[in-house]
Amino acid sequence: MKYFVVGAMLSITATSMAQEVDFNTALQPIAQAMKENPTAVEKMAKTYMGQFKKDPNALIALGSAYLTVKNFDKADEIADMVILKYKKDMAAQAEAYILKGDIEAIKDQAGDGGSAASHYATAMSLDPKNPQGYMRYAAVYRTISPKIVEQTYAKLREELPNFPIDAEAAHSFFGGGLFAKAFENYAKCNLDQLDEAKLVEYVIAAFQTGKHADALKVATYGGNKFAKNATFAQLGMWSAVENKKFDEALKIAQRYFAMDGDKNATDYTYFGKAFLGAEQYTDALAQFNKALEVSADATEPLARISETYKKMGDEDKALEYSEIYMQKNPNASPSDYANLAGIYAAKAEKGIDPAVNYKKSIGIYDKMAAKFPVIASWAHMIAAGIADKSGDTDLGASYNQKIVDELWTKTNRDADETGYLTQALRLLGFHYWSDKNDLEAAKPYYEKLITIDPTDKNAKAALGIDLDE
């Protein structure tokens, strides 16, 4: 299990330990040599250690540099040196154990982080005022035990009430891909106290967790403060569309597309959706087609082109693109199927081969019921309505019968399913009593209906129950 982002953790060590300009300057050529000329490092490091032998911070910084190039033995050797040499310096001891924890963490990125956590716990006990021990310890457990994470942050808050723990916790959760927890913690922060990078993380976490109103708010703030950062404009446009603020989305889009940098298919798709929402259909089609130019494998633009043509009243084009979309998208959703069925129904309602198109529309709901059993009764309810609209009430009754068969004996029906069943029983009772003039055939349905809705007037009348009862 990869429980933290290596680069982020190393940067924290560098920031917290390497405050002295002298050893920072001296360390730079050594760090460069570690990457480009490893054979020269040993002599350079020896000189450096002699120069800063009384400064544990300088030694830890050297160990962190070794860790950056994954020279674990050298990094661990330096950490042990600090532990042995500075036994009375608890702050130095803590930093050494943090370094040892980082070493174990990087070596064991696929593990559970137990060894790293042990070193971080030691650092916390040695120097309770060093926030990095807590942050590292929490990072190990962020995907394993949120409870331990919260307890660790609570301890840190007791020791350092002014430490920006919410922002740092959010940053840690974001690094682990836990967007919901990242959003939860960023939402506790004052936007004015977040730097550019954390604002970017905040808006991404908000968007990823469906908090589109919050995402738009943060994107707007970030865009005003850091006007050259394209991420704020990009996610601002996306979020405005999700919030159905299409005019605002178009304004943001104009700014975003004027910025340098490549734009992806999703960007053009959202731009198109902004035009679609604003009922500027020609411009919408242009953007959806640009999305397809950028990525021929993109599927959403096809669905949105279909939707646009449908709104323009061109069912043939809408159908063409909807069918292409369904062919290219094995993960089509129920709403995708419903959109395709709706196009066939719209053609039928216009008098274009009604028998054929109503049948095709109903057939799609059959496919939906088979592909998504959990919504089969809903699909059958819609199919029944289309069949009745087509004039084939017997076919409509057959779909209502399917609903009764599916739901009557189901013990854990939810409210929606009870609604589908109630409607099916009413329609079946009416079908046999009114359409077929067969009260005896209707009675079993009304007998079931009266147990669900004792006030139904037709059921009472069919069963000879006093309407005033």
Position 52 in a domain: yes
Residues 94, 98, 102: CA angle, nearest 5 degrees: 170
Residue 445, in any domain of the structure: yes
What tens-digit pLDDT sequence spans the chain (469 residues)? 444 444 444 444 444 443 444 888 889 999 989 988 888 888 999 999 998 989 999 999 999 999 999 999 999 999 999 999 999 999 999 999 999 999 998 887 656 678 899 999 999 999 999 999 999 999 888 878 878 988 999 999 999 999 999 999 899 888 878 899 999 999 999 999 999 999 999 999 999 999 999 999 999 999 999 999 999 999 999 999 999 999 999 999 999 999 999 999 999 999 999 999 999 999 999 999 999 999 999 999 999 999 999 999 999 999 999 999 999 998 899 999 999 999 999 999 999 999 999 999 999 999 999 999 999 999 999 999 999 999 999 999 999 999 999 999 999 999 999 999 999 999 999 999 999 999 999 999 999 999 999 999 999 999 998 766 5
Does residue 335 form part of some domain?
no
Determine, yes or no, domain membership for 409.
Answer: yes
Domain boundary among 110, 128, 163: 163
**What single-letter amino acid sits at 367?**
K
CATH code at 363?
1.25.40.10
How far apart CA 338 and CA 333 sit, in angstroms, is: 9
Q: Determine the straight-line distance between the first and last CA of the chain, rounded to whole angstroms.
A: 66
Q: Using the 3D structure, point to which of 110, 144, 163 is the last residue of a domain.
A: 163
Contact residues for 265 (Cβ-Cβ < 8 A; gap 6+): 291, 292, 294, 295, 298, 301
Specify the long-range contacts of residues 295-303, CB closer than 8 Å, at least 24 apart: 295/264, 295/265, 297/328, 298/265, 298/269, 299/325, 299/328, 299/329, 300/266, 300/269, 301/265, 301/268, 301/269, 301/272, 302/328, 302/329, 303/329, 303/336, 303/339
Whether 191 maps to a domain, the answer reads no
Q: Which of 163, 187, 218 is the last residue of a domain?
A: 163
* Residue 66 domain-assigned (yes or no): yes
Within a domain: 275: no
Q: Give the three-state DSSP class for 275.
A: helix
Considering its fold, how many domains does the chain have in total? Answer: 2
pTM of the model: 0.74
Tally of CB atoms within 10 A around 10? 16
d(CA 103, CA 68): 10
**Residue 348 counted as domain residue:** no
Domain that holds residue 99: 1-163
